[in-house]
Amino acid sequence: MATRIDPTQPQPPRVLVVDDEPHIAHVIALSMSRAGYRTAMANDGNAGIQMARAARPDLIITDHQMPYVTGLDMCRQMMRDPELAGIPAIMVTARGYALSPLEMDEALIVELVTKPFSPRMLVKLAGEVLEATTPRLRKAS
């Protein structure tokens, strides 16, 4: 029997994972799914923008270095798009690439994580970012 979705109940946050390395994207998406998040995946920045339009994520976890459109450029483009602006991002990078505070602000990148990373730590960080940035997840004061 199929599980019915109750439209009166809030849905878990959706996390969009954008990485050109399929095994890394899969590990991140699987970790997020196991933690109770809904997930979507894309394999480059262009696909990430299209998937963000379709999936309406609450958070993006993206690699920095990808073909065609980097994670940074993808986030910048999304911030200029009224339909996608305001979605926070966590950026993972294989090298110790540092972004300036201005670059992070203009792309709404709230955290930088260096590969290799702990999937458990990334899930915890995602939860912290979502709690801080998503009104429906904030605890009542």
The amino acid occupying position 46 is N
In this structure, the chain runs to a length of 141
The pLDDT tens digits of the residues spanning 29-59 come to: 999 999 999 999 999 999 999 999 999 999 9
Q: What angle do CA 22, 60, 17 make, to 5 degrees?
A: 15
pLDDT band at 93 (very low <50, low <70, confident <90, very high): confident
The pLDDT tens digits of the residues spanning 8-17 come to: 667 899 999 9
Which residues, at least 6 apart from 29, have a Cβ–Cβ distance to it below 8 Å?
15, 17, 39, 41
pLDDT score, position 138 = 40
Per-residue 3-state assignment (H helix, E strand, C coil) for 94-116: CCCCCCCHHHHHHHCEEEEEECC
Give the three-class secondary structure for 141.
coil
Sign (positive or negative) of CA dihedral 11, 39, 35, 126? negative
Question: How many C-beta neighbours within 10 Å does residue 24 have?
Answer: 18
pTM of the predicted model as reported, rounded to 2 decimal places:
0.86
